[in-house]
Chain A
Amino acid sequence: AQSVTQLDSQVPVFEEAPVELRCNYSSSVSVYLFWYVQYPNQGLQLLLKYLSGSTLVESINGFEAEFNKSQTSFHLRKPSVHISDTAEYFCAVSGNAGNMLTFGGGTRLMVKP
């Protein structure tokens, strides 16, 4: 069985400040890790994913996440956020044995001017 914990349900931050959204997972098998973003009134979109290789993965809009196997974490970071980053962010895992995604509860990022 797999599970995902997002420790922060809401993260308020001022524009241009750095941010970290935390994600921890548990699994008895190797996993693939994903971050999805849901902008207001839109569907879920893939932000970035870790499959193998380099533990640091990046998105096209400046987010990055680092896979840490020993700490079973996949935290999402951005050095300087914009108002347009305001959204709900979901961490998810999948595994070879099961193709479905197991999601965390989500973190609402609120960027204030």
Chain B
Amino acid sequence: GAGVSQTPSNKVTEKGKYVELRCDPISGHTALYWYRQSLGQGPEFLIYFQGTGAADDSGLPNDRFFAVRPEGSVSTLKIQRTERGDSAVYLCASSTSGQGTDTQYFGPGTRLTVL
């Protein structure tokens, strides 16, 4: 079946602009996660959705970052007033129910470059 998909695969923007990154999880997965992977580092947790609600947003670095999942499937990560330090690969993952034992399935990521 189809895996997790993310669009766009690459996004180049200028400092100060607004960007939206989209994630399509595996059909039927209620849990959805966003991570950020900077060059040479492991992924870092940003936010976790259970259904439509953000169950844990403790990883969002500041209030420029916001994410939604209005219908419990597709999610959008929104970054306002982008900064060069936001440049990274943004990863989305989904799992069946959000239990700690679940396997998280990752998308290919969106590479964001802020000039």
Chain A interface residues (CB < 8 Å from chain B): 4, 6, 9, 32, 34, 36, 42-46, 49, 51, 90, 92, 94-96, 98-106
Contacts and interface: CB of A to CB of B under 8 A. Distances in A.
B62 interface: no
A94 B43 CA distance: 13
A46 B101 CA distance: 13
Interface string B62-102: 00000000000000000000000000000101010011111
Contacts, number: 65
A4 B41 CA distance: 12
A6 B43 CA distance: 13
A48 to B, nearest CB: 10
Contact of A49 (B43, B55, B103): B103
Main SS class of interface, B: loop
A101 B95 CA distance: 12
B33 A43 contact: no
A104 B109 CA distance: 18
Given A43-B109, A44-B43, A104-B42, A99 B103 contact: no
A36 B31 CA distance: 19
B59 interface: yes
Contacts of A4: 42
Interface string B19-56: 00000000000010101000011111100100000011
Given A90-B42, A95-B100, 14 more contacts: A4-B42, A6-B42, A36-B106, A43-B91, A43-B109, A44-B43, A46-B105, A94-B101, A98-B56, A99-B56, A99-B95, A99-B102, A103-B43, A105-B40
